[in-house]
Amino acid sequence: MIAKRTFSRISLKVVSIFLLTVLAISTLLPYIVMVSSSLMAQFEIYSFPPKLFPTTPRFQNYVEMWKSQPWGRYIFNTVFVSICVLAGQLLLVSMGGYALSRLNFPGRDTIFRIFIGFMMLPGVVTLIPGFIILRSLGWIDTYMALIIPSLGNIWGMFLTRQYMLTLPQSLEDAARIDGASEFTIFWRIILPLCKPVLATVATFTFLGTWKSFLWPLIVTRSKEMRMIEVGIAMFATQYTIDYPIQLAAATLSSIPLIVVYFVAQKWLLQGIKLSSGYER
């Protein structure tokens, strides 16, 4: 009986490892194909049967890619917008989370429910109204159009509020007895305790802003204001697509995301747990 249980346990472990290996390979395969195809000649992309690796790696694709578009400007725009959106979102979600969790005022819970209701709306619904507002303000093709509409983050505020609700009330009471103002309590007591959840929000915000495509495509007109993802799409014309060069640009743009993922994967997992309510 013991031998049978041991055999079943080992079999289950082997099957689990096999399934996880298959899942990992299927997840990595598109990225491997992207990197490999970025080193192919154009005719190899269309060869049949398809090739997984190039016959002769063509690193010239990366040189041509860099010369064909102002990538230095695209990278600067993406980094600048990502940092501004990141700083603005952290400030707003922390202040919003504090107001909705630690302050008592009429209608607080109703406001929170309204915010939750807005989370149900698909983002594409606000594209046209947002564009009309920005055009009336004269912000089209400016940094204001790329940054200001992206500062709202209801999911981040929800996450921060839920985290702040778990902090003990005695911290605020002791600070008020010592004469601390509301801003001092928020800035010097509550905010330092929220570093884990703010790190999670910051990680998701940076990744989301870096790879944003649709909104920057709509509100920018000139090459000087484009971000990286929009620049990659510019390789496709109405009649032709230079796949190797486009995939070279996609590979280059994905490097910062991979670095951020490996550095911040702890906070990414924590964000998934917090949003699912599985664990604080």
Q: What are phi and psi of 152, to 5 degrees?
A: -75, 130
pLDDT score for 56: 85
Distance, CA of 113 to chain centre: 25
Cβ proximity of 160 and 100 under 8 Å: no
Please tell me whether residue 241 adopts helix, strand or coil conformation: strand
Mean pLDDT, all residues of the chain: 85
248 contacts: CB under 8 Å, gap ≥ 6: 38, 39, 61, 62, 65
Question: Is the previous residue joined to 49 through a cis bond, with omega within 30 degrees of 0?
Answer: yes
pLDDT score for 78: 93
More confident residue, 266 or 75: 75
> Nearest CA to 75 among 256, 236, 244, 262?
256
Q: Give all domains of the chain, ordered by start, each with its CATH number.
A: 72-276 (1.10.3720.10)
Q: Is the pLDDT of residue 266 over 60?
A: yes
Crossing angle for the helix pair 195-210 and 243-276, nearest 10 degrees?
Answer: 150
Please tell me whether residue 259 adopts helix, strand or coil conformation: helix
Residue length of the chain: 280
Single pTM value for the model: 0.81
Cβ proximity of 194 and 166 under 8 Å: no
